[in-house]
Structure 1
């Protein structure tokens, strides 16, 4: 069963003006064109990459990163990165505020998202997720062994897996308690001494005059209206990406202590970024 954070009621917005409708139309068209071209290039390149490199993907992630950077540029959302360089091997965890997180994190480094299985069936989004190597999982404990084996295989191939331990997205003004089951996979005998996990804090600054929760996506909010609202915005805000020092898994006794330490890093970075913005 999926968990959804409800929180407060989303902010209300006035109807779109003509200029905003036109902005949604031309930005949306450009983004759709970029996504389609990127997907086609990736699928064609994968025809050569897969026979030569198997599960390894030395080429196609560069297309993903370029596409996400172009999409963010079309939107006008500025990304400011700081902190430790990305871990060369292992996994990453981040707080989850918006559907924008996917574009922001993919634009900075090569990562492979861990997502709930039902996303694979979403129209459009599911196809993009599958093409970019997303790892789909269920929350059924009976599948834990298979998921651990999948994590192990991907990590052994050098894939940096990224997941959102909160289990849901929020309004961007808080960090929820990390859920710990997925961390158990890192204590597998084949991974525990070879894997590090890096925490990443994402903090959004809303456009001037907009509700601070402008970029948040939570509760019963639908994707399409949220996307349209972002595309309609003439002057965008910013998002800060703070990468924290990676933590070795074998430095912790169990999944709960590891999750707690990573959550503390994410909370500190998120709070510091929001305080600096204020």
Structure 2
């Protein structure tokens, strides 16, 4: 009974909050620049609070622009977690554009939809990403290409990192920064290897039952850890840079999952001027 009441109450408040902020968001998008992403973090912060998710942040996004964030991907929760921390937009698979309700929310977030199965379409999407990067947007790429069970980080894919190199034509340089998302507690209890898949949404899992469980139960702790930023030059090897970012995220996620305090992993000030491979 309590879970059902929580579900209904949370759903109503989320819908009302969306309706309140939409006019301001649309005005911001019309104005452009920083105003375009000003209100979405406010919406996501309330959703995070309503769902009972506690977000712990180590580090911060680099100040340099263009900025492409490379993150691991465990669940749809990753989107609202990252969007509550910074005014970001996401690169999403094309299927999301056809999902009821979620497609509408993704478009409000100004997501860029990508058909990863068609090489030509990926190239077209890279051009769109480059335009948004040039405009100063912070773009998040879930570089694994899919979500995982939370116990491991899959190899990062480099195809769309080329979009940051395209943005160099205007900005002169671009910045790539890894981000590790690690879910550590549920209902106040440390999440073990066998329980992480309950929070993860991956494979052929149905979205609605997973969403229903999270909204009913909540009380999740997640760590967002920003890694060292790297300058991406026109002549740099995007595969090497992507692999470096993936290796950093993989190491950090493994250490936090093993019980290490994320605060001990702070990278200090971000380094937008550090060359690739530093």
* TM-score between the two structures when normalised by the length of structure 2: 0.83
Residue pair 2:178, 2:248 contacting (<8 A) in 1 also:
yes
Structure 2 vs 1, CA of residues 181 and 190 (structure 1 numbering), >3 Å: closer, same or farther?
A: same
In the alignment, which residue of structure 2 is the partner of 1:88?
64
> Displacement, 1:256?
1.3
Residue pair 2:88, 2:137 contacting (<8 A) in 1 also:
yes
In the alignment, which residue of structure 2 is the partner of 1:121?
98
Distance in structure 1 (CA, Å) of the matches to 2:170 and 2:121: 18
Residue pair 1:170, 1:217 contacting (<8 A) in 2 also:
yes
Distance in structure 2 (CA, Å) of the matches to 1:73 and 1:138: 33
Q: How many residues are aligned here?
A: 253
> Displacement, 1:272?
2.2
Matched, 1:21 2:4: yes
Structure 2 vs 1, CA of residues 178 and 252 (structure 1 numbering), >3 Å: closer, same or farther?
A: farther
Task: Please tell me the root mean square deviation across aligned C-alpha atoms, in Å.
Answer: 2.2
Residue pair 1:152, 1:190 contacting (<8 A) in 2 also:
no
| Alignment equivalent of 1:250, drawn from 228, 233, 239 | 233
| Alignment equivalent of 1:103, drawn from 64, 67, 80 | 80
- Superimposed CA distance per residue, residues 112-156 of structure 1 (whole angstroms, 9 cap, x where no aligned partner): 111122212221111111122111222211234433322221111
Distance in structure 2 (CA, Å) of the matches to 1:257 and 1:104: 28
Residue pair 1:97, 1:169 contacting (<8 A) in 2 also:
yes
In the alignment, which residue of structure 2 is the partner of 1:206?
185
* TM-score between the two structures when normalised by the length of structure 1: 0.83
Distance in structure 2 (CA, Å) of the matches to 1:86 and 1:34: 29
Residue pair 1:192, 1:249 contacting (<8 A) in 2 also:
no
- Superimposed CA distance per residue, residues 68-95 of structure 1 (whole angstroms, 9 cap, x where no aligned partner): 0000001111000002443431210100
Q: Which runs of 5+ in 2 are unaligned?
A: 262-278
